Structure 1
Amino acid sequence: MIRITTITSNQDQPRSNLGQLEDLQSSIDVHGILEPLLVRRIDGGKIELVSGERRFHAAMALGLTEVPCIELDVNDQEALEIALIENLQRKDLTAFEEADGYRTLIGKYDYTHQQVADAVGRSRVTVTESLRILEIPEPIRDLCRHADIKAKGILLEIARARDESAMRELIRVIVEERLDRAAIRQRRADLESDDSGGSSTEESREAPRKPFTVRFSNPDRRFSLSLSFRTEAEPEPRQVIEALKEVIRELESGLEAERP
């Protein structure tokens, strides 16, 4: 047991919103803290919390003087990894908190997307897609919170909207029509198509340029593939490769989002 007043919070703690603590406080009041907090020693012999932020604050609110702890010998980045893993396993983090944790590992400790994925037991695609939602501006994040939009896959579709105005419109449609992800993706494409075709300039009234199309059929004809490029010139092989990679990323992202 460690005196609660000697424990300090970790500034890199991935959880930014502790949520409601009343139920947890009631449980601790009746049964005590069943799972010890994870802590570590830092400069000057201070004790820093690694994992167990909600239990720590619930215990403080109850006026407990001591809490059960397990002391770890870890450095800063290992502490952040553990905090992320603990919270992810409990599904305690919001999509934005998860992405912020990944960003800290990348920005502060120079992790690659693959290294983050290996550290927290996720796929690289999951990490990359999580980071994409950080492109959503704070005012739009607030709208998502108020609309109770939490699913990472839906947040990703919002992040892919071309600007803040399109994001707001997409959120309105999501709330009013209660669309699933596939329908949201189609609606986003429709909104962008409507805007791109709504110009009244002389150029927009010209007949649209026929897109360059690349077609492929595998030898046994089990499938064929067609890609259309809206470009000024015939696409280079590397552009075709990048387009195919984007298709693969989209498909993998959809599979990740559908997993329980």
Structure 2
Amino acid sequence: MSARPSFLRVNEKPLKERRDIMTNKSNETAIQHIPLAKLTPWDGNVRRTGASEGIDELAASIKAHGLLQSLVVRKGKRGKYEVVAGRRRYLALKALLKSGAIGKDYPVACRLADEELDATELSLAENIVRLAMHPADQFEAFRDLMDGGSAIADIAARFGVSEKLVAQRLRLGRVSPVILDAYRKGEINLELVQAFAISDDHAAQERIWSELPDWERYPRTVKRLLTEDEIPSSDKRVRLVGLDTYIELGGPVRRDLFEAEDSGYVLDPELLDRLVLDKLRIAASAVTEEGWRWVEIVSELDYGRLATFERRYAEPAELSDEDQAELDALTAEYDGIVDTDDEDQIERLDAIDSRIDDLTAKALRWTDDVLELAGAIVSVGHGGDIRIERGLVRPEDAPAEDAGSSDVDHDADEPAVKLSARLVEDLSARKSAAISAELAKRPDVALVVVVHALALGSFYTYARGHSCLELSASVPAIGQSLYDADGCIDLNELETVRESWLAKLPQNPGGLWGWCLEQSHEVLLQILAVIAARSIDAVQSKGMAEGASELLHASAVAEALGIEMAGHFTPTADNFFGRISGKAIGAAIAEAKAVTLAPGWSKMKKAELAALAEREIAGSGWLPKPIRLSNSDDLDHGDESPNLKAAC
């Protein structure tokens, strides 16, 4: 057997002899109190990494509780003592000396090391032969201090940590003992304990713990189940009112101490709705003074509701020289700092933007005829602002007009495979929104799409159904077909593009022709792309054949754009798997993973199976058939599983 490396040969004395020396000497050597000024660090201390970390916290603890563990020293040169074990405690004492909390003559409890013992071994023993306190025990200890009457600020000061850290430890200490026990046993990690800490209800925590299978115990899932009846601070209504305002008026909030400081969950929806209504009423009062025939308050205004109104528009008005000069200056300032990341400049941008809106409104004039005929709707905008739609004419107030129908009757056979009509409509609406969002970025393709659609109507008879484009006065209400229109990124992106162009176009359609004549070819192509994008309708509505020509053309447009739907939609338990049958879920997993389902999966509850499917299929690129564009979106598993067809 080869000799041990030198770095392991700490002390070659027999183990029993070393143990006897340490035992006897430790009993004989009493604690000595040595002035701090006579102590000096020993250069051979084995802890070299992280030795200076947490010194402030340790210093605060020593100041509050005293030195709970003595230092081990040996005699050095010129009457000094070298600290062999307890270097961090020594550094903490030096920090207290520097702050003026103690003096140079502060008596430090020390034990003099036996000269026969190797100092390196002592230093190594102190750093290795100890067991750190489990975090769960820390949580409960902080909780017991609080229950014993200690304030958060006092605890923080005594241990040299932030009040937020103490609050976090207290919150974790109040998690159900069942959850903490699982954490102690290593069955779950700290992030999951933090998720359970969002609620103080032990019964709810334990119910979710027992109902959720191991593979579904994710922090996001736990938080969602514990707060399903609460309103997150990201909700547009909360953003309109302001979370601070809601709290100042007595609104209870459940804080998530492990997220951003301004996050939380609103617990009083009735109070929130009243505050939202108050905001909308103030705005509506100002709009009413403008002289409209009617003003209505609607907390949620969707595209379908707006589509029921005719529109009237304001006429351009001249700004005063003073207002025009201010508008020009603000516009130039905005353009100069719009790309900044500076927080102060961002606040300035918001202020400029608001003032530009005010000045722009002055450049429009509503005629008396329009005010007598039309009204306005005041609602909450997507960004948590006040949204005002003016110039709306109710159907009963508008002059009667003949209405035509251009519906195309598709008498194709019903597809052999069918998801629910509502789900198919939702999925295909997502596809339609994705195509629109991409088409708006590609004027070259948009030009081809528009010319194709116009040529069909001009040169061919009854050929309109061969294009997915709806070049008409109305825009397809894709949002009505979506399960979660507000959460559809593509639809929101398209709306942002539309709003940016609305700010540039004349408000009155009568001035659009002259404006267009003055624009460059490039600008017209950009507008054309947006027009084409907003006209896309690839929704497979109820009764429409799967192979309808509009849908086939939609896939052709998507192929020209190079769209990959996997980048626009990910099937989850919420948006897909939870809305189909258990057999269909199993078939989807089998198709996506190219495996045969284990027999036990068929015995799972639907919710469990849906969550499993979300986890198993994540990252595979698999998509439900209604949202696929072409064969490029299919996996290399052949045609769609017959089991999926039958089960859906």
Q: TM-score range by the shorter chain?
A: 0.3 to 0.5
TM-score, normalised to structure 2, is: 0.19
The higher radius of gyration belongs to 2
Structure-1-length-normalised TM-score = 0.41
* Higher RCO (C-alpha under 8 Å, 6+ residues apart): 1
Q: Which structure: greater helix fraction?
A: 1
Q: Counting strand residues as a fraction of each chain, which structure ranks higher?
A: 1
